[in-house]
Amino acid sequence: MLICCKLSGMTLQIEPSLFPFFKPQGVAIIGVSQNPTKLGFGLARNLLQSGYSGAIHFVNPNGGVLFERPVYPGIVHVPDPVDLAVVLVPAPQVPGVLAECGERGILSVIIASGGFRETGPAGAALEDACLHVAGHYGMRLIGPNCIGLLDTHLPLDTTFLPPPGPPPGDVAFISHSGAICAAVIDWARGQGFGLSRLVSLGNQLDVRETDVLVSVAADPHTRVITLYLEGVSDGRRFVRAATAVAREKPVLALKVGRFASGQRAVASHTGALAGSESAFGAAFRRAGVVRAETSEELFDWARTLAWCPLPKGPNVAILTNAGGPAVTAADALESHGLKLAELQPQTIARLAEFLPAAAAVNNPVDMLAGASPQEFNRALRLLLDDEQVDSVIVIFPPPPLYTAGGVARAIIPTIYAARKPVLAAVLGERMIQEAVEYFRAARVVEYRFPERAAAALAVLWQRAQYLAAIPEKPQRPVNVHPSTAQATLLRVRGLAPGFLPSEVVNELLAAYGIPTPPIALAQTAVAAAELADGMGYPVALKVASADIPHKSDVGGVRLNLFNGAQVQQAFVAIMTQMETAVPQARIEGIYVQRMIPQGQEVIIGAVQDPQFGPLVMFGSGGVEVEGLKDVDFCLAPLARAEAEEMLARTWAGRKLKGFRNIPAADREAVIEAILRLGQLAADFPQLQEIEINPLRVLEQGQGAFAVDARARVG
């Protein structure tokens, strides 16, 4: 049996071995308890109360009866059908129980027990033992140290969470944190949305976030997938899977542990800036995963994505009985990149026909405090009929003369019939409960604060744009010569790990078609002058030493040398300076390099991220990179459109089109250099860091040159 999930042209294979987790024929709970204060009691209760229609079996060595069902003393005694076991026994007993499951033919097991890796080396050893048993039987494991999973539509509940479980719905939640699951269910209930599936992954001994993401994406009841991630196990695999899923269903992620990553030892600007957060940002962007910054955003946005049609454009109409909150909403819309729609004249005229003279009939449409439910509805219909309007936010505090519920009742049929998204911001809490309940029953998204409605609408528009964009795959740049680069790297393989000599770096860049200024190594002042004569002036001198990463910091660079005499003088000056400044450094000589004309300067770098692999950085270069932080990241290799986006997201990139008296520069050459450096980093993972700083960008058509570059091999 091989069932596939066809998503966005790609065919994602759902591992058949995972089926019993999501559609078991029979479930055995191993470690049930008759004591209502024990989790083993909760497991049994939840599974029974969930309405699960397959076979339910309880196991405990003590036997007995629970909920009028027999408790079997061992898994071997459990009758057919049974293909999923939930294990809640002390950790040391788990490997043995797994073996019994294997013997009984149960090949899908949720280990709810804690006491494993999270407790130290002894627990980690127990995990190894579990994995060993599982490997022997071809068994799949979720957990350990997890809450289990539930499916509100099957239905199935293998958790021990206190009831009530979540209402059935269309939002799936996949979590590295088990502890948050109870809160998520309660938030869902409180905020009026249901869950389709909830999966707690625990220590991820076997089944991981990507496996579950693909399985859950195939669930027809799930419209939106939310992820609570502490990391990902295999970054590239996650990105591949999430990319396929996100084109079909919105995927929202909250990545936690941002500041916990600590500092790594790095030697380049790119390395210093390319923390795990930049990599996650780039990975989510590549995959089309929407990143929430807070738990609240995660679920605010999930509801909107699940229930609203997508807007065709960024133009929003605001309909309200309250001017102040409408201004707040307009502020929030603009800060999120949406616009206030310019209403058509006939819309304005028709609004003016029935609204009081003091009402504002331009967007935001403020009908004033006395607006009736019928007026709300009439105005909403006019706004929805306006071609200039792509979406509507209806904002109302408790109206002084009518009830909020009355307004909700009046406009729900219109919202329901609309092909444009309509979001409600019902301001208040207790006086507007009736309106909230009407809206929820009709699956109209509603928020208590106007800013949250605006933020959610922005995510909806982002989703629409994402789906409208034609996905572009990274293309291998032409005229890149991996075999040449390979040969270069082989040549220096004998060197200790660390910085590569400049000429080696330039060879690598040349092999990938990134232009560098002519450069040669001189051992004496006279030789330097001769080399310079051959290249043409002006030239620069730079000390050659693998021990000096930041050459200009120690006075190892001299620029603008216009003749042989200056070159000889500078050579001696640098050598003298090095003896004082870095006496321990091994000096290989001094590079002579033709200087490239003035131009805009940018930085392009690449690092190997431990989770997501090659990662390219682009931005404002020079020595102030970390100070200005005008940089952007993208997974490598990258598509041309992604390189364009990096330019659009940075001042360094926007400036390439010219600004004031800064002339336009050769953007094309920059994009080429980004794509080529990305390909180089992707082709050679041993290049731990490679950075061009500056890439000097000449006028249009004149190209861009890697004036200085360095690289480190791992």
Task: Convert residues 353-382 into a mask of x (bound to a copy of itself by CB under 8 A) and - (unbound).
Answer: ----xx---------xx-------------
CB of 550 to a copy of itself, least distance (A): 7
**Shortest spacing between CB 307 and a copy of itself, in angstroms:** 19
Pick one of 80, 103, 128, 429: the residue that binds a copy of itself (CB under 8 A).
429
42 is a site residue for a copy of itself (CB under 8 A) = yes
Shortest distance, position 553 Cβ to a copy of itself, whole Å: 4
Query: Which residue, 252 or 531, is less far from a copy of itself as judged by CB?
Result: 252
Under 8 Å between Cβ of 656 and 600:
yes
Is the Cα dihedral 666, 671, 675, 681 positive or negative?
A: positive
Among 70, 74, 281, 323, binds a copy of itself (CB under 8 A): 323
81 sits near a copy of itself (criterion: CB under 8 A)? no
Q: Which range, of 78-86, 245-253, 608-616, 624-632, touches a copy of itself by CB under 8 A?
A: 624-632
Residue with Cβ nearer a copy of itself (265 or 357): 357
Q: Which residues pair with 559 in a beta bridge?
A: none
Least spacing, CB of residue 603 vs a copy of itself, in Å: 14
Contact 535, 594 (CB under 8 A): yes
Which span sits near a copy of itself by CB under 8 A: 11-19, 316-324, 468-476, 668-676?
316-324
Question: DSSP characters for 508-574?
Answer: HHHHTT-----EEEESSHHHHHHHHHHH-SSEEEEEE-TT-SSGGGGT-EEEEE-SHHHHHHHHHHH
Spacing of C-alpha 386 from chain mean position: 36
Residue 46 near a copy of itself by CB under 8 A: no
Q: Give the whole-angstrom CA distance, residue 473 versus residue 593.
A: 37
Among 66, 254, 578, 669, binds a copy of itself (CB under 8 A): 254
User: Does 259 help bind a copy of itself (rule: CB under 8 A)?
Assistant: yes
Chain residues 506-545 in contact with a copy of itself, contact rule CB under 8 A:
none
Tokens 């204060």 identify what position?
37
Applying CB under 8 A, which part among 34-42, 282-290, 632-640, 693-701 lies near a copy of itself? 34-42
Residues paired with residue 607 on neighbouring β-strands, in sequence order: 615, 689
Does residue 416 interact with a copy of itself by CB under 8 A? no
Nearer to a copy of itself, 4 or 401 (CB): 401
Q: Does 434 bind a copy of itself (CB under 8 A)?
A: no
Distance CA 185, CA 167 (A): 8
> Per-residue x/- marks for a copy of itself, 122-151, CB under 8 A?
-x----------------------------
The three-state DSSP-derived secondary structure of 203-234 is CCCCCCHHHHHHHHHCCCCCCEEEEEECCCCC
**Ordered strands of the 557-561 beta sheet:** 519-522, 589-594, 539-544, 557-561
- What is the C-alpha separation between 673 and 216, in angstroms, rounded? 39
Nearer to a copy of itself, 167 or 714 (CB): 167
Distance CA 608, CA 688 (A): 5
The span from the CA of 375 to the CA of 373, in Å, is: 5
Decide whether 119 or 523 has the Cβ nearer to a copy of itself. Answer: 119
User: Using the rule CB under 8 A, which residue among 5, 48, 256, 639 binds a copy of itself?
Assistant: 256
Whether 474 and 638 have beta carbons less than 8 Å apart is answered as yes
**Interface with a copy of itself by CB under 8 A: which range of 251-259, 414-422, 559-567, 675-683?**
251-259
- Closest of 516, 508, 591, 518 to residue 548, by C-alpha: 591
Question: Does residue 630 interact with a copy of itself by CB under 8 A?
Answer: yes
CB 368 within 8 A of CB 319: no
Does residue 180 bind a copy of itself (CB under 8 A)? yes
Residue 703 C-beta: closest distance to a copy of itself, Å: 23
Q: Is 627 in the site for a copy of itself (CB under 8 A)?
A: yes
Is residue 295 part of the contact set for a copy of itself (CB under 8 A)? Answer: yes
Q: What is the closest distance, in whole angstroms, from the C-beta atom of residue 426 to a copy of itself in the complex?
A: 9
Please select the residue that binds a copy of itself; options are 4, 76, 125, 183, rule is CB under 8 A. Answer: 183
Minimum CB separation from a copy of itself for residue 94, in Å?
A: 14
- Site for a copy of itself contains 266 (CB under 8 A): no
* Of 343 and 514, CB closest to a copy of itself: 343
Question: Do the Cβ atoms of 199 and 174 come closer than 8 Å?
Answer: yes
Question: What is the distance between the alpha carbons of residues 388 and 340, in angstroms, rounded to a whole number?
Answer: 10
**Coil, helix or strand for 436?**
helix
Residue 430 DSSP class: S
Per CB under 8 A, the segment of 78-86, 242-250, 559-567, 656-664 that binds a copy of itself is 656-664
- Check binding of 559 to a copy of itself (CB under 8 A): no
Question: Which pairing describes strands 290-292 and 251-255: parallel, antiparallel, or unpaired?
Answer: parallel
Residue (258 or 264) nearer to a copy of itself, CB: 258
653 binds a copy of itself (CB under 8 A): no
Determine, following the binding rule CB under 8 A, whether residue 322 of this chain makes contact with a copy of itself.
yes
- What lies within 8 Å, CB to CB, of 705 at 6+ separation is 515, 516, 517, 596, 695, 696, 698
- Least Cβ distance, residue 512 to a copy of itself (angstroms): 28
CA 47 centroid distance within chain: 34
Q: Is 552 in the site for a copy of itself (CB under 8 A)?
A: yes
The C-alpha atoms of residue 59 and residue 70 are separated, in whole angstroms, by 8
Residue 44 interacts with a copy of itself (CB under 8 A)? Answer: no
The answer to whether 199 contacts a copy of itself (rule: CB under 8 A) is: no
Nearest Cα residue to 501 out of 541, 546, 543, 554: 546
Selected binder of a copy of itself within 623, 648, 663, 714 (CB under 8 A):
623
- Window contacting a copy of itself (CB under 8 A); options: 244-252, 448-456, 538-546, 665-673: 448-456
Of the candidates 634, 633, 631, 636, the one whose C-alpha atom is nearest the C-alpha of residue 614 is: 636
Whether 256 and 232 have beta carbons less than 8 Å apart is answered as: no
Q: What would the x/- binding string for a copy of itself be over residues 450 to 479, using CB under 8 A?
A: xxx---------------------------
**Count of residues that interact with a copy of itself, criterion CB under 8 A:** 87
Which residue among 48, 124, 129, 182 contacts a copy of itself (CB under 8 A)? 182
Task: Report in angstroms how near the CB of residue 601 gets to a copy of itself at its nearest.
Answer: 12
Rounded (10°) angle between helices 323-335 and 450-468: 40
Only one of the segments 14-22, 80-88, 517-525, 547-555 lies at the binding site for a copy of itself (rule: CB under 8 A); that segment is 547-555
For residue 147, what are the CA distances in angstroms to 159, 200, 356?
A: 5, 5, 57
Considering only residues 386-405, where is the footprint of a copy of itself by CB under 8 A?
Answer: 397-401
Q: Report the DSSP beta bridge partners of residue 530.
A: none
CB of 368 to a copy of itself, least distance (A): 7
